[in-house]
Structure 1
């Protein structure tokens, strides 16, 4: 079956049904490695697939054209899930010339020891395939320095590399053919990969207009293709501006149940004030799931017991992961139980503050056993957070 995106542009990628972890975040639905074949008087292939999936891609290419007729191999992104089959590809697409950004060329030369001549393109460069014209747009740090996008001008198809993707393995190719709204998957993808680059994404959205790119279809490097690009463009703008709703994410680990009990009482107070609550036991939930929910939450409450005068390692791991994602426009608060000496709540508060979160200090901690006054204080803390959210 040929998966035509539009007018001689075909999806020829591979489906990874079994992937469950990608760079440390959970991918319960698997993923796809998307490659696109553009057929005209000249033929271009945009990206390859992860090593081990080349035969699947080649089977799809061969169902459309003879492989030796491919004239150009465009590498939009060097990461191995997209360029991992380039050596296999160049053995089969014997007449193909490689096209990449300047930074892409440097990476390819280093990885493959200057094995192939490479045509360098930059923002605004074009390539004529005959009736079709390809325009290139450099997008450094979305999410590697070499990233670029390829735009089929006449067909208004934007092949967007890692931007606008999702990790979904599916027999469907287009988002509007799915039985549910995949923006939730796109949000998880954004939160765990692209959140640190939010300012660059806002600039990209402006740059797309400046270079007269007006896509009717957005074809990302992972997941489903967008036939309604305004849906994902609007979502990316919202996420990159860190717009948030009246929502708090509460995450915790616990030793003997105190931090768990505190989390539930904080939730009661927030719910009483009409704020949405999402609750996570860190050891029972994947970090990426927590981060995804935090994307559009206004507040984050993080709880830990004290161990060796500090926070639990699971809490520290979450904070390390979150620090690299650079969340903005959020309220943060630490809480937890302790025995003879505290320390966890102070560490959490300092970590949240160092990320630029608007912290409620000094947080709240309970010594040994929850008392009635402690229970009331936890509920009041939830109410205070909720009121801050609604300010």
Structure 2
């Protein structure tokens, strides 16, 4: 893409990665972008860089506006490799002696990744840099989602460069949220559910801090996906997702199966939920990526997990998903377990133990059926779903 001027003298010079389909375990069906921003004033600043391998494209984008050698400083909001992988190459091209601004933890992390010869300049909360007619100020956002993270705020234009916050893994020619339309909210929800949910309490505090400070935003510019010309929309969504309250009457059935028995149970449980007014999503783990499942979990009241018993334990894909979900720490959820078994049947108990460790409410005892569920067994599954529906509505 060609650079886009998003405000006078402010350009998105980032690149699009159309073909990436796995972002360290997160499915990126539509690719992603690595956004970087050039501010041209009396002094010229580059905010963030791009993933290694895209550095030349970044330089070409910058070159359509100015000679890259005229850049006076680089600001690193976040040291993760998709934003800093090309830093050494870029610094070498624009001048290795030029200041590289970052947080205190940013200096620590960058110097571990790259040469200590770079001209690191540490910024604190509230520090300002004048570029001439434009002023940059900095907001520390530790653990959103790394300890080095910070925001950069362009005061005169009221533009927030928000690093990984408010992003989406979305590749497209559209530059702004109002151009993409409502479909972008799904990608924002998926991004939040799989990357930021763990930090929900910190996000709420950050939203409160920004509100108290009276900061106004015309545009929010994340490092992935489209930019928000309607910033209130995504801020409100983050506040809602972070509270993890007022979820819809919705249940996600996460399951896998060996010889179709647990699959039959899952569909019967789904019938029982649906017949009682619950929006239900049956999702078989070998057909759905775990990051897509977590997107559905985010705004669901209930997570119901089904597994056959294998080697006196749970199915490997179920163990993987539970580990993944545990790490993201969803709250205020109803949980339940079901599964088929041959001769021992431990899977249901193991799932319930894991859900209990995540502080899920378990209003209905787990359901297990030996071998293949007959009509009576399937009716038990539907009744199991009906009981869960009452708990969800209650």
TM class by smaller structure: over 0.9
8 A Cα contact 2:3 2:14, kept in partner:
no
Cα RMSD (Å): 1.1
Q: Residue 318 of structure 2 is aligned with which of 294, 315, 319?
A: 315
8 A Cα contact 1:76 1:161, kept in partner:
yes
2:119 alignment partner in structure 1: 117
2:134 alignment partner in structure 1: 132
**Secondary structure at the residue paired with 2:353?**
helix
1:390 alignment partner in structure 2: 393
1:353 alignment partner in structure 2: 356
* CA distances 1:90-115 after superposition (whole Å, capped 9, x unpaired): 11111631100000011122222411
**In 1: Cα distance, 2:67 partner to 2:216 partner:** 32
Give the CA deviation at 1:156.
0.5
Is it true that 1:193 corresponds to 2:195 in the alignment?
Answer: yes
Q: Residue 237 of structure 1 is aligned with which of 222, 236, 239?
A: 239
Q: Residue 217 of structure 1 is aligned with which of 216, 219, 226?
A: 219
Judged with a 3 Å threshold, the aligned counterparts in structure 2 of structure 1 residues 107 and 76 are, in CA distance, closer, same or farther, namely same
1:80 alignment partner in structure 2: 81
- Where do 5+ consecutive residues of structure 1 fail to align? none
8 A Cα contact 1:9 1:37, kept in partner:
yes
2:62 alignment partner in structure 1: 61
Is it true that 1:265 corresponds to 2:265 in the alignment?
Answer: no
Q: Residue 324 of structure 1 is aligned with which of 323, 327, 343?
A: 327
Is it true that 1:278 corresponds to 2:293 in the alignment?
Answer: no
8 A Cα contact 2:30 2:170, kept in partner:
yes
2:23 alignment partner in structure 1: 22
* CA distances 1:219-253 after superposition (whole Å, capped 9, x unpaired): 00000000000110111011001131100001111
**In 2: Cα distance, 1:60 partner to 1:257 partner:** 53
8 A Cα contact 2:364 2:387, kept in partner:
no
* CA distances 1:355-383 after superposition (whole Å, capped 9, x unpaired): 11112353100012323332222111111
8 A Cα contact 1:151 1:213, kept in partner:
no
Give the CA deviation at 1:180.
4.5
**In 2: Cα distance, 1:357 partner to 1:180 partner:** 31
**In 2: Cα distance, 1:346 partner to 1:76 partner:** 45
* CA distances 1:323-357 after superposition (whole Å, capped 9, x unpaired): 10001010000100001111111111111111111
Is it true that 1:364 corresponds to 2:367 in the alignment?
Answer: yes
**In 2: Cα distance, 1:135 partner to 1:271 partner:** 51
Is it true that 1:379 corresponds to 2:368 in the alignment?
Answer: no
8 A Cα contact 2:14 2:37, kept in partner:
yes
**In 2: Cα distance, 1:332 partner to 1:48 partner:** 42
Is it true that 1:204 corresponds to 2:217 in the alignment?
Answer: no
**In 1: Cα distance, 2:182 partner to 2:55 partner:** 30
8 A Cα contact 1:147 1:161, kept in partner:
yes
**In 1: Cα distance, 2:362 partner to 2:9 partner:** 54
The count of aligned residue pairs is 391
Give the CA deviation at 1:8.
1.1
**In 2: Cα distance, 1:374 partner to 1:88 partner:** 63
1:100 alignment partner in structure 2: 102
Q: Greater shift after overlay, 367-376 or 39-48? A: 367-376
8 A Cα contact 2:363 2:391, kept in partner:
no
